[in-house]
Chain A
């Protein structure tokens, strides 16, 4: 997965990350080493209109059968 793809997956699934991007802007994306054009395009996303994510936190591949942040399974 490219860095941009990783960012988009997290924005779709991780409420904390999404909030962070909304509040801090490009600073929240630093760890992904995106190019200026990639940052520019992602910064243009209207995250306020995205659907809410369960407050239980993100799920990622590999979580099934293990521990999802915040809940015991």
Chain B
């Protein structure tokens, strides 16, 4: 066994509270939840340490393998990280049946013989590695417990989100066995609602769970426990003494949520960076940063697949000055790390307050935010100026009909517009395509496949896969047009000793059947193939616009290009540039103003159609969008394009759009 004693190389002063961050929480960032709780209890003079056993386990098994287990493809509906720790909670040792039943059937997705054989080898390799990791768990838990012992804590709090449940349970069980006087408290996403109640029912070594936000209640819980007082009457805190009053099928109240975000402390990440240094880990870390909670869009229209709980949906954001002060503090205190906002959605008001202020500060940062996809070009420019260089918009589809079913409140063409502007401004965009919604029109997927071949010069999706049924999502709670909702089979192996009812109460991911059967794999096949192609050719796909005083040139180096380069002047130049943002024929005519007075809309329509026919523009229900990406003055490609243009001008071989399109205007 590799033993790392850096956390416990000397006797420690007794600590009131230990806050534990277990595998397989993210290794490359501290927990913002624990960082906030530590700061809150510091205000009432409670001593605490955050133990990032994520870092320790990552050191033991290797960071790459750790992250494979924590975030890669078997981390969600296969819960491979939870299986690794399940032995510690089970009376019978887990078997390889998990692989036979949960992992290897995934091979059915590999159609081609060569691909199938490669995948078999890959899965065998994964199995061997994962079994080796599992075999290290007992020593790891011993190691963690030894470290905890040195602090002589009164309270041990665990944050349990995604695949942190079984590792947290395993260590909590050990702590309670040997230190029965210590209060064990669980919080985090895995303890919300009936999941938390079920934890109390099934795991007697847990004294309390926190359902909902912990910022307000945690200092009160700690104070009362230290004073020997009951916590049974605190709303959203569940113990063995009060769960009998909760109806599992009814409403399970959450804790009181923060309404004024400005009263929150700054999160404390010192322990994470200290422990990372002590363990000799020098990988890049991210600093979690929070400016809001809830979702302003979800409060208006909860997206069908979104697992955000309604009780925490209400949108609350920090005052811009407060947010700026915190950002400066975090970037100064933990320099050289990228900053990732944990917000569910960026506050649109920030575009006139917080974001311009970041730009004024000229901070050496690289920020990430999740955003709604209906941003305007000016918004993207502001993001760029503020060094918000990575965003995750909720794109999900290019079909307006399917987006409507999802309750996204956006058109497909708007999603494509956003991808184009991100390309123009060099904003990294991470997004996904989700399919398989009940009642979705299957023919939309062939249309999306064709559309994908036109936009290979934009960033491809990270993933393209079926909708997942998450607890708290409207699809889960309403179960409209679906039936037979049941937990994913992986939970049989992650909680092998529990009854099916208990597993269903603890699970977050569910399977379902459609009320009206539909062959999703069949009707989405072309789209999935088109996305694979897109990923392969993206690096070699370009569709650029170069502006000069007297003309605009298009350089089209997409595989689907009909003509690779040509010049636009006059009316067609005006129309193409105007359609940088979505336009209808009517809006174009208005935009043309008096210069369009003598122009028939038919002429404009003909030019628009010629752009569409040449795959330079897309049309959706009478709305048009140019696909060319404007090159800014500092674009490196401008030099070669200018040289290309000069050669053709000198030789009188100008490829003219109207001639190529065979148009007479």
* A21 located at the interface, meaning its Cβ lies under 8 Å from any Cβ of chain B in the complex: no
Task: Determine whether the beta carbon of B636 is less than 8 Å from that of A51.
Answer: yes
Contact residues of A: prevailing secondary structure: loop
Whether B453 lies near A49 (C-beta < 8 A) is no
How far is B635's CA from A51's CA once the two chains are assembled, in angstroms? 10
Instruction: Give chain A interface residues in 29-73, CB to chain B under 8 Å.
Output: 37-38, 41-42, 45-46, 49-51, 53-54, 56-65, 68, 71-73
Contacts of B537 in A (CB 8 A): 59, 63-64, 68, 73
Please report the C-alpha to C-alpha distance between residue A50 and residue B643 in the assembled complex, in whole angstroms. Answer: 9
Contacting pair B539 A61 (CB below 8 A) = no
CB atoms of B562 and A8 under 8 A apart: no
Task: Indicate whether B647 reaches chain A with its CB closer than 8 angstroms.
Answer: yes
Given A13-B557, A59-B541, answer yes or no on A51-B637 (Cβ-Cβ < 8 Å).
Answer: yes
Is A23 interfacial (CB-CB < 8 Å)? Answer: no
Min CB distance, B632 to chain A, in Å?
14
* Shortest CB distance B5–A (Å): 47
- Beta-carbon nearest neighbor of A10 in chain B: B564
Chain A interface size, under 10 / 10 to 19 / 20 to 34 / 35 or more: 20 to 34
Interface string of B620-653 (1 = CB under 8 A from A): 0000000000000000110110011001101101
In the complex, the answer to whether A46 meets B533 with C-beta atoms within 8 Å is: no
Q: Which residues of B contact A38 (CB under 8 A)?
A: 651
| Known interface pairs A59-B557, A61-B560; A41-B651 also in contact (CB < 8 Å) | yes
Does any Cβ of A come within 8 Å of B555's Cβ?
Answer: yes
A5 CB contacts on chain B under 8 angstroms: 564-565, 648, 653, 655
Whether A68 pairs with B648 at a CB distance below 8 angstroms is no
Known: A56-B539, A68-B536. A4 touches B555 (CB 8 A): no
Q: Which residues of chain B come closer than 8 Å to A13, judged between CB atoms? A: 540, 557
Instruction: Assign chain B's interface to a size class.
Output: 20 to 34
Q: Is A22 an interface residue (CB 8 A)?
A: no
A residues less than 8 Å from B254 (CB atoms): none
Across the interface, name the chain A residue whose C-beta is closest to B532. Answer: A73
B456 interface residue (CB < 8 Å to A): yes
Q: Is A41 within 8 A of B540, CB to CB?
A: no
Q: Which residue of A lies closest to B655 (CB)?
A: A5
Q: Which residues of B contact A56 (CB under 8 A)?
A: 539-540
A51 and chain B: residue at smallest CB distance:
B636
Q: Does B561 contact A (CB under 8 A)?
A: yes
Q: Closest residue of chain B to A45, judged by CB?
A: B643
- Closest residue of B by beta carbon distance from A18: B640
A64 to B453, CA, bound (A): 7
Q: For the complex, give the distance between the alpha carbons of A13 and B544 in Å.
A: 13
Q: Does B559 contact A (CB under 8 A)?
A: yes
A9 at the B interface (CB under 8 A)? yes
Known: A58-B540, A59-B558, A61-B562. 7 other contacts (CB 8 A): A11-B644, A38-B651, A53-B540, A54-B539, A54-B540, A57-B540, A73-B532
Could you write out 25 A-B pairs with CB less than 8 Å apart?
A: A1-B655, A2-B653, A4-B651, A9-B557, A9-B565, A11-B644, A12-B555, A12-B557, A13-B540, A41-B651, A46-B643, A49-B639, A50-B640, A53-B540, A54-B540, A56-B540, A59-B541, A60-B559, A61-B561, A61-B564, A64-B533, A64-B560, A68-B540, A68-B559, A73-B533
Residues of B within 8 A of A (CB): 453, 456, 532-533, 536-537, 539-541, 555, 557-565, 636-637, 639-640, 643-644, 647-648, 650-651, 653, 655
Binding site for B on A (CB under 8 A): 1-2, 4-5, 8-9, 11-13, 37-38, 41-42, 45-46, 49-51, 53-54, 56-65, 68, 71-73
